[in-house]
Structure 1
Amino acid sequence: MLTRRFFDTPAWDFDVTKPFAEIERLRQRMDRLFDEWMPSTWKAGRTMGVFPLANLTEDRESYLLRAEIPGVKAEDLDIQATANSVSISGERHIPQEEENVSYHRREREGGRFSRAVALSGEIDPDRVDAKLEHGVLTLRLPKTEASKAKQISVMSTQS
């Protein structure tokens, strides 16, 4: 029976010493319900969130973008660069498990991904250099001459 307690909130009978266990159990039930009722076409279109994880640094001459893409081959990547942005898209293939297995934990996702990064200055898209090594994609994005910082000299007018 549902009863009302403090502040008119409903209360269910559960062990108050383990509130997080109850929340975790509720989350698992909702996941199962969502998986049962979600059409399979939606499941196939699920994305991997913010992937790939990337760091963007800058020096005087260029930007350097490093993205973690473990398990992705160079031929599965599509890299596009414009004057003010770069995008990385591709597909990660994860081998399918046997049919009669049950997962204890499933964190590795396969499928298509896309990530776009806006730049604060202009780059020369024709001179972008890309290297994939040990699951890390490194893009060197050379700045245009117009976007490079210029040293300004100050003249003194003191007598």
Structure 2
Amino acid sequence: MNDQIPVTVSERPVQESPLGWLRTEIDRLFDDFGGPARSIFTSGLSTMTPAPALELAEKENEYRLTAELPGLKEDDVEISIADGALTLSGEKHEEDERKDNGFLLRERRYGAFERRVPLPADVNQDAINAEFKHGVLTIVLPKDAQAAERTRKIAITAAS
């Protein structure tokens, strides 16, 4: 009688060598090809279109969220706020046509992205503004001065 029970492993084992790690990452890439994106901040994004890199930095009176969006214009990007989260989405349409020595080369590239970032509780949502310059989007999220006043400590009583 066979006492072994088949086990299904959902994650690959951790590789100790750099080449083992690389092999695992390449296998994961091919396993995920065409599937949904893994990031909790992405939605409706295939693995063929990478989500833009984001950086959130805190300053004394504001937060600054920057997104690298090379090749896009401000008309290609949309920013919205709902349910305490900022959603950054965009779409790129690029077409190139060249004729040379009787040959026609036509290239089309399309891609869409969406990133959803939970906002800190002390952001003044009515004063948010954004600037787009040289492929970098900077969103300024001012802090709400009264946010600290709305915070209160709750007393705990002992149950008898």
Change (3 A) 1:50 1:124: farther
How far 1:94 sits from its partner (Å)? Answer: 2.9
Write the distance in 2 (CA, Å) between the matches of 1:144 and 1:83: 17
Q: Is the counterpart of residue 92 in structure 1 residue 86 in structure 2?
A: no
Write the distance in 2 (CA, Å) between the matches of 1:70 and 1:133: 10
Change (3 A) 1:144 1:117: same
Write the distance in 2 (CA, Å) between the matches of 1:89 and 1:97: 27
Q: Secondary structure at 2:75's aligned position in 1?
A: helix
How far 1:61 sits from its partner (Å)? Answer: 1.2
Amino-acid identity (%) = 34
Match of 2:122 in 1: 122
Match of 1:63 in 2: 63
Change (3 A) 1:141 1:148: farther
Q: Give the superposed CA RMSD.
A: 3.8
Cα contact 1:78–1:90 (8 A) shared by 2:
yes
> After superposition, where does 1:8-157 map in structure 2 within 5 Å?
46-48=46-48, 50-82=50-82, 84-95=84-95, 110-147=110-147
TM-score (norm 1): 0.52
Write the distance in 1 (CA, Å) between the matches of 2:80 and 2:74: 14
Name the amino acid aligned to 1:77: V
Greater C-alpha radius of gyration: 1
Q: Secondary structure at 2:78's aligned position in 1?
A: strand
Unaligned runs of 5+ in 1: 1-18, 36-44, 102-108, 150-159
Write the distance in 2 (CA, Å) between the matches of 1:148 and 1:72: 38
How far 1:85 sits from its partner (Å)? Answer: 2.1
Cα contact 1:47–1:111 (8 A) shared by 2:
no
How far 1:120 sits from its partner (Å)? Answer: 2.9
Q: Which has the higher strand share?
A: 2
Q: Deviations over 1:53-72 (max 9, x none)?
A: 11001122111000000111
Change (3 A) 1:80 1:58: same
How far 1:74 sits from its partner (Å)? Answer: 0.8
Write the distance in 2 (CA, Å) between the matches of 1:148 and 1:134: 36
Q: Secondary structure at 1:110's aligned position in 2?
A: strand
Write the distance in 2 (CA, Å) between the matches of 1:83 and 1:148: 20
Deviates more, 1:68-77 or 1:116-125: 116-125
